[in-house]
Amino acid sequence: MKDIVPPPPGIVRNDAFEIQSLFQRNVMPTYGRLDLVLSHGSGSQLWDVAGKRYLDFGGGVAVCSLGHAPAAITEALVEQSRKLIHCSNYYYHAPQGRLAEALVNLIGPGKCFFSNSGAEANEGLFKLARKFGQEEGRFEIITALNSFHGRTLAAIAATGQEKIKKGFYPAVAGFRHVPYNDLAAARAAISPATAAILIEGIQGESGVTPATAEYLLGLRALCNEKNLLLLYDGVQCGHFRTGRFQSYQRILEGVPGGEMFRPDAISMAKSLGGGFPMGAFWVRAPHADLLSAGTHGSTYGGNPLGCAVALKILSVIQHEQLDQNARATGEFFQTGLQALVTRYPEIFREVRGLGLMIGLELSADHALLNAPGKAAALRFTNSLQAAGMLVIPTGTHVIRFLPALNLRRAEVEEGLQMIAAVAAELAVG
Ligand SMILES: *Cc1c(COP(=O)(O)O)cnc(C)c1O
């Protein structure tokens, strides 16, 4: 006869711990992840597996253009998946053709190629530049220091940050880096082998630095003069984030000659798919057929699901005037942040950006914030997370806000209060 033993105490479920251990055991440690296990979201709100609510001002790093779990995307996915989920690029289908037309209408005469990510879209730009210069033996692409263009071998070669290339040499040949917003440096870097110049409209990973109007117009004139392609990485700063479809349209607003400006090619991704992995690049009319049949391709690029989603996102942005929202809510947010910079000069150095692409630079002098062991940007990000707000740290001293384009004013007010609370704590600290 067995003793009657009481059942063991119920194990307290700790999903966060269990999920994190799954990662530790099975997922490569390529990301410096924050201590947060997410469960679900709605609009600009997210909940972790323990039920705590967060305001999401990172937007999946500029991806979730309509916020989390938007009904419009769910509907587009369901509707399209009932018809055709995948279609090889051996054939034609409506969503890809319609999306290409929509992008051409937004940018200008030209053609599109579809990829699955930003790095792949940039890869297309590199191949375009090589094809463009091939017969004359030109292949070099000038890019900017502190840029970010993705993680493939060519994209890290294009990226002007040593930390991203380290460990992966030899680099793909043919990239030269020059200081951003420095037209004379770009001119000086041109060699007989140069085929193109590639810049971001607003450098994101380096702490949110917009190109100046003079730089954009100067690069256009320089590329015309030297017969180079002007390539524009709009992966992070594009898709209405600044209030206009592409950031150059916003930067050049009201600038004489600005309406005439157009790069020769533009890469897109992130907000384009709103969370569905997709990328694209647009090429201006005279060069749009350079990548001819058989020269470039992608199995999933331009698949019906992704294109249906991207089309739906464009129509929601248009119907709900989210370009105007990005501009107005972004300005409201920047004004609020500026007030905090003025109130806490010992904590904040500067706020910069356009629309809903904003960087807040932290002071390098504040002792507590700059205590050894952790970068100030990460420390501030951790404190904001504890307060219930998610942001993206970049570099050592900048936190980035890249929220959904349908972010509400009330959410901005709540977010500002959280930032103010963290600052107040540091100020007495
Ligand atoms: C995110 C990003 C990329 C790379 O996009 P992936 O989809 O991660 O490949 C390229 N350029 C810029 C400016 C980006 O912000």
Is 107 a member of any domain? yes
Of 319, 342, 364, the last residue of a domain is: 319
pLDDT for 368:
93
Of 319, 351, 376, the last residue of a domain is: 319
How many angstroms separate the CA atoms of 402 and 411, rounded?
14
234 and 90, same domain (yes or no): yes
Sign of CA dihedral 128, 268, 263, 350: negative
Report helix, strand or coil for 55. Answer: strand
357 and 384, same domain (yes or no): yes
CA-to-CA dists, residue 209 to 31, 276, 279, 370, angstroms: 24, 27, 23, 22
107 and 158, same domain (yes or no): yes
326 and 294, same domain (yes or no): no
171 and 276, same domain (yes or no): yes
User: Which of the 8 DSSP states describes residue 236?
Assistant: T
pLDDT for 1:
46
Q: Tell me how far the alpha carbon of residue 131 lies from the centroid of ligand 1, in angstroms.
A: 23
pLDDT for 2:
53
Structure tokens at 14: 């700790």
96 and 160, same domain (yes or no): yes
Report helix, strand or coil for 232. Answer: strand
Structure tokens at 332: 């409201």
Q: Tell me how far the alpha carbon of residue 402 lies from the centroid of ligand 1, in angstroms.
A: 13
Is 203 a member of any domain? yes
- The 10s digit of each residue's pLDDT in 255-293 is 999 999 999 999 999 999 999 999 999 999 999 999 999
Residues in the chain: 429
Is 10 a member of any domain? no
269 and 373, same domain (yes or no): no
378 and 363, same domain (yes or no): yes
Q: For residue 127, count other CB atoms closer than 10 A to its CB.
A: 17
Is 381 a member of any domain? yes
Task: Give the mutation target among 146, 148, 208, 235 for probing the ligand 1 site: most ligand atoms within 8 A of CB.
Answer: 235
Beta bridge partners of 153: none
| Cβ density class 154-188: b for 16+ within 10 Å, e for less | bbbbbbbbeebeeeeeeeeebbbbbebbbbeebbe
112 and 233, same domain (yes or no): yes
pLDDT for 7:
59
311 and 373, same domain (yes or no): no
Which residues of the chain have a pLDDT value below 70? 1-14, 429
pLDDT for 413:
98
- Cis omega before residue 170 (within 30°)? yes
Of 319, 351, 366, the last residue of a domain is: 319
Closest atom of ligand 1 relative to the 118 alpha carbon: 5
268 and 386, same domain (yes or no): no
When divided into structural domains, the chain yields a total of 2
Q: Tell me how far the alpha carbon of residue 236 lies from the centroid of ligand 1, in angstroms.
A: 7
Query: Looking at the whole model, is its pTM more than 0.85?
Result: yes
CATH of the domain at 328: 3.90.1150.10
pLDDT for 156:
98
- State which residues form the domain around 348: 16-63+322-428
CATH of the domain at 188: 3.40.640.10
Q: What is the DSSP string of 337-380?
A: HHHHHHH-TTTEEEEEEETTEEEEEEPS--TTTT-TTS-HHHHH
301 and 169, same domain (yes or no): yes
